[in-house]
Homo-oligomer: A and B are copies of this chain.
């Protein structure tokens, strides 16, 4: 199979034949016969696990439409190209944080990559199961600090960043999904929206009439679309992370593009807070008090690790054109450099709270819900969890410039969780 052939979707039946001569694949898993399974549970793509005599690999292929919706919603195959290029940059900037790539075929929109075998599990699934992963805060905090810092004008030669920005600017359709589904659709009666009804109807109407919230959501969309600060993962939620007790890998960066640093951080943290509010729905086998405490601890630690690593890179790897040492350290003024760092971190903080609040809303009001809430079968119970998350999201989005630190946010989450009258 070469990139010259017209695109053709793989299937469990055809995969072994079509990839039989792929050298990278054969070198990793051995020649056939292979066992092939389709395991894609995402919204967009085909994902196969291929097992041979000497190993296994993942074959991920884009489809020319949104899998979740069907071929009525076309989506270009080039997202595979952006995923491939994002993975290579993430590996370079945060070694060991993403699956190894074995092969990329642009024409077939196909990436063959390392199989993260069990006990690897999707982080979202682990959190729903009530598992406390010991390393995720550290691993994800480091990943975000390293990729976001090293992909920006704080580190890169700006000529290289601008060329890369131009490359990823063509990832229009996937940006468009975020622009519509995250920032706008949840706040009006858009066609693809759904929510737990009728339980949430009143609150949903209230949020859609909430002027301050809607203005803030659009300000954040403006920042998302215009502020091309660094190469983002673009879809860094707990469903895009594979974990074991000792390992953490980020996957699925097909939404990658140049955007604001705070977006990845805010979306990720939002998913921890949603997990927090969803725990009440998963207490069939026992209270989840410890899990809730763990989750707030994870948000706290993730942000602390992010700041510590970002600050470390600021002090040791600031080789880009921004905040040049010639203006600060080289003039003997280390405090000027620290002052600038405070400004940059403060901006990330107040923006990430906004992005986090909006991400919570879109997962409950928009098209793409998440399993944390969806797997709560009792609709009243689910709605009660979701309502708390919605109120939390509204609060942090609208008050993002006034919230001082993670303690306040986590105290707010705990208060909302505990107080039935809110």
Contact = CB atoms under 8 A, between A and B. Distances in A.
B166 A327 contact: no
A219 B340 contact: yes
Contacts of A218: 322-324, 327, 340
A169 interface: yes
A190 B330 CA distance: 12
A188 to B, nearest CB: 5
Given A170-B166, A187-B327, A153 B215 contact: no
A3 to B, nearest CB: 23
Contacts of A179: 158, 321
A331 B159 contact: no
Contacts of A327: 184, 187-188, 214, 217-218
A340 B215 contact: yes
A211 B166 contact: no
A209 interface: yes
Contact of A172 (B159, B184, B340): B159
A18 interface: no
Given A162-B169, A214-B336, A215-B343, A222 B331 contact: no
A227 B162 CA distance: 12
Copies of this protein, total? 2
24 contacts: A153-B222, A153-B225, A158-B172, A158-B175, A158-B176, A162-B169, A162-B172, A163-B169, A165-B165, A179-B321, A184-B326, A188-B327, A188-B330, A190-B326, A211-B339, A214-B328, A214-B336, A219-B343, A222-B322, A222-B344, A225-B321, A225-B322, A226-B227, A228-B228
Interface string A134-175: 000000000000000000110000110011011101101001
Interface in A200-258: 208-209, 211-212, 214-215, 217-219, 221-222, 225-229
A169 B180 CA distance: 25
A196 to B, nearest CB: 22
A211 B176 CA distance: 41
Nearest to A210: B336
A422 interface: no
Given A219-B343, A333-B211, A340-B219, A162 B175 contact: yes
Contact of A221 (B163, B175, B322, B333): B322
Contacts of A172: 158-159, 162-163
Contacts of A166: 165-167, 169-170
A336 B165 contact: no
Q: Give 10 closest A-B pairs by Cβ, nearest first.
A: A166-B166, A166-B169, A226-B229, A211-B336, A162-B169, A215-B340, A218-B323, A228-B228, A159-B172, A188-B326
A162 to B, nearest CB: 5
